[in-house]
Chains A and B, each alone.
Chain A
Amino acid sequence: MNPESPIGPPRGFRDILPTEARELGVIEQTLADVFAASGFMPLHPPLLEYGAADSIKRRRIQFLDSDGSLVALRPDLTTSVARLVAGRYRDMTGVLRLSYIAPVFREEPAMSGGAREILQAGVELVGADGALADAEILALLVESLERCGLPMRESTVQVGNIRLLTSLFAALPDDMRTEVLRALRNGDIAGGLSRAREAGMPADQLRRTGRALTGAEGEAPEAAAAGELCHAIDLARERWPGTLTGWGVPNLSLVPALPYYTGIVFEAMHPGAGVIASGGRYDLLIGAFGLPRPAIGFAIDVLQLHRALFAEAWRPPSQRPLLLLRANADERATMRCAASLRAAGLAVALGDLVERAGRAVIHAEVIDERRVKLDDGRVADAIALGREIAS
């Protein structure tokens, strides 16, 4: 390989070859169908958004456009949808159901093995508020995963609530509370709690809060908070009972890294693949673009979902076999033979094929316009062969 012109893609990006692409295609199609069956309409936000100089969003891949403006490969589709809704649906007050299957891009340090291109499939329900909307989106996430073939365990889907979590620190001054929540978003529970102690949180309250964040499941001491989380899960189970009775675990310590959530939050995780989906209510994000609207949504990391499915021994349904047709000397007869095989419902390709991506192939040689000779020496008519392979 010439190091001056590398043959591989840039760090954090990779080629997806046919075996994997076909499996991803099956997952994407399933998700698109599930989203559509709940009334969600696909849309395509642009690949580029305007960048920003703030350091909190350092994980963006940014560069200068030819006119000098700072642009970023979209790091997140929810923010793009929020911007789009605030701009294009300014005069609309009702409900929007939007869905997407598209890549997002995030900066990762070199040598960390982290992908910089992440394929997301998600929905956003804009303009709907309240427990029903929360439960519908939570249920749709579980339905999406199960329809793709992911077996649910009790702990696969975890449900928290940023508003309830914030209320645990209600007695702290605003700036301290913000700092505690920032620590929790960064995964620093120990640091968040010690900051709360420094800010004067009483010892018994600190102990109860600590237990809510690090205790075993079901030990959430704030009865009202636990009740609200369980209610959301119960309601969602009515909409999608699923294959596992009692899916979903209330978990107040669930704090997604993205800063815009304001209410219910949820994540789906798998022991082999980590977090495969996350979502929640973000009632202030669209308002930040000038159009206050309640909203809730989720995004599935399609590659991580694929990883989890693979770990569960999932394989896509097999495709109809491909007939590889060897030409004979008569070119016109060869083309006509291919046409009659296709007309008989067969998938046909001329010549041989190296990359088969797991697809079964049948070799045959052209005899005349409607007959081929199979590898076992048998001569078959196009229509009969089509019927044979279909059955």
Chain B
Amino acid sequence: MRPLRFALAQGLLLNEALATLRAIGLDVSGVTPGGRRLVVDGGEIEFVLARPSDIATYVERGAADLAIVGKDVLLETEARVIELVELGFGACRFVVAAPRGAVERSLDEYRHLGTLEVATKYPNVAERHFRARGVAVEIVKVAGSAEVGPLVGLADWIVDLVATGSTLRANGLAVVEEIASSTARLVANPASYHLRRREIAPVVERLAVRAAAR
């Protein structure tokens, strides 16, 4: 059987994920953020680096057994994986935001025009949220920088992922409501989790102890 394969998201979570894995005694010395090697042998565990949104796909389809990935990615992809430990870092929130001072105006527009335009990189999260609220919206999918949407007239509101909210403030946006909060999670492929429980359980246990101590 191949070594346990652990997928790590390149980007904001990577440094903290590596520090956490190092702290529980895994050898992550071969993984270099920004490096060119994307598959790294770590002895009993092999590490794979991938884009955050691909991590969920890797794990769902069994190309990786374990991963550290933000709950935000799981909410957007709705990947069928087992979520094992809330790791407590990488906190961020999905929010609905609108131009400061324009909430009343856009609600008036909603009354007259019957729908709001919402720009987002996260169409599934946005769609589910507004459907549950019974608000009619048109989702405008963008690949980046949704916060520019209201400035250039692309959309009335945005749904975005925020950590501190400074990007929103810099673009003159204010949070209208919070949809969900997110932290990094240890996830596993369902079949791998059950088949390789003996190898995975110690990782889960040590990460849970560390997360509880935070």
Stretch at the interface among B18-26, B38-46, B192-200: B192-200
Q: Is B201 a contact of A189 with CB atoms below 8 Å? A: no
Q: Is B195 a contact of A214 with CB atoms below 8 Å? A: no
List of B residues within 8 angstroms of A219 by Cβ: 201
* B81 interface residue per 8 A CB criterion: yes
Output the residue of A112, A210, A214, A251 with the most chain B CB within 10 A: A214
Q: Is A274 a contact of B62 with CB atoms below 8 Å? A: yes
* A12 interface residue per 8 A CB criterion: no
A122 to B4, CA, bound (A): 32
Q: Is B194 a contact of A216 with CB atoms below 8 Å? A: no
Q: Is B84 a contact of A190 with CB atoms below 8 Å? A: yes
* B121 interface residue per 8 A CB criterion: no
A158 to B190, CA, bound (A): 12
* A127 interface residue per 8 A CB criterion: no
**Which of A210, A215, A271 is within 8 Å of B191, CB to CB?**
A271
Stretch at the interface among B104-112, B164-172, B202-210: B202-210
Within 8 A of B (CB), among A35-75: none
A32 to B186, CA, bound (A): 41
* B127 interface residue per 8 A CB criterion: no
List of A residues within 8 angstroms of B78 by Cβ: 109
**Which of B83, B186, B191 is within 8 Å of A269, CB to CB?**
B191
Residue of A at shortest CB range from B65?
A271
List of B residues within 8 angstroms of A194 by Cβ: 86
Residue of A at shortest CB range from B211?
A190
Q: Is B80 a contact of A257 with CB atoms below 8 Å? A: yes
* A10 interface residue per 8 A CB criterion: no
Q: Is A190 a contact of B194 with CB atoms below 8 Å? A: no
Q: Is A188 a contact of B83 with CB atoms below 8 Å? A: yes
Q: Is B205 a contact of A275 with CB atoms below 8 Å? A: no
A109 to B78, CA, bound (A): 10
Tell me the smallest distance from the CB of B209 to a CB of chain A, in Å. 11
Tell me the smallest distance from the CB of A280 to a CB of chain B, in Å. 15
Tell me the smallest distance from the CB of B56 to a CB of chain A, in Å. 10
Count the B residues whose beta carbon is within 8 Å of the partner chain — how many?
27
A214-B204, A216-B198, A274-B62 known; A190-B191 Cβ under 8 A? no
Within 8 A of B (CB), among A88-114: 109, 112-113
* B148 interface residue per 8 A CB criterion: no
List of B residues within 8 angstroms of A257 by Cβ: 80
Within 8 A of A (CB), among B78-137: 78, 80-86
A194 to B185, CA, bound (A): 13
Within 8 A of B (CB), among A264-297: 267, 269-271, 274-275
List of A residues within 8 angstroms of B81 by Cβ: 187
A269 to B193, CA, bound (A): 11
Q: Is B194 a contact of A215 with CB atoms below 8 Å? A: no
* B143 interface residue per 8 A CB criterion: no
A346 to B54, CA, bound (A): 54
* B1 interface residue per 8 A CB criterion: yes
A187-B80, A190-B86, A274-B191 known; A217-B185 Cβ under 8 A? no
Tell me the smallest distance from the CB of A53 to a CB of chain B, in Å. 13
Residue of A at shortest CB range from B60?
A112
Q: Is B86 a contact of A189 with CB atoms below 8 Å? A: no
Chain A 194-223 interface mask (CB, 8 Å, partner B; 1/0): 100000000000000010001111010000
* A30 interface residue per 8 A CB criterion: no
List of A residues within 8 angstroms of B61 by Cβ: 113
**Which of A155, A214, A271, A275 is within 8 Å of B190, CB to CB?**
A275
List of A residues within 8 angstroms of B204 by Cβ: 214
Q: Is B83 a contact of A158 with CB atoms below 8 Å? A: no
List of A residues within 8 angstroms of B62 by Cβ: 274
A245 to B82, CA, bound (A): 30
Q: Is A254 a contact of B194 with CB atoms below 8 Å? A: yes
* A191 interface residue per 8 A CB criterion: yes
Q: Is B194 a contact of A251 with CB atoms below 8 Å? A: yes
Q: Is B83 a contact of A214 with CB atoms below 8 Å? A: no
* Besides A214-B84, A267-B194, A274-B62, 12 other A-B contacts (C-beta < 8 A): A187-B81, A190-B83, A190-B186, A191-B86, A216-B198, A217-B201, A251-B194, A254-B194, A270-B191, A271-B1, A271-B192, A275-B190
Chain B interface residues (CB < 8 Å from chain A): 1, 57, 61-62, 78, 80-86, 185-186, 189-192, 194-195, 197-198, 201-202, 204-205, 208
14 A-B Cβ contacts within 8 A? A109-B78, A158-B194, A187-B81, A191-B86, A210-B208, A214-B84, A214-B85, A214-B201, A214-B205, A216-B198, A251-B197, A254-B194, A269-B195, A275-B190
Closest CB pairs A-B (n = 6): A216-B201, A274-B191, A269-B191, A187-B82, A188-B83, A190-B86
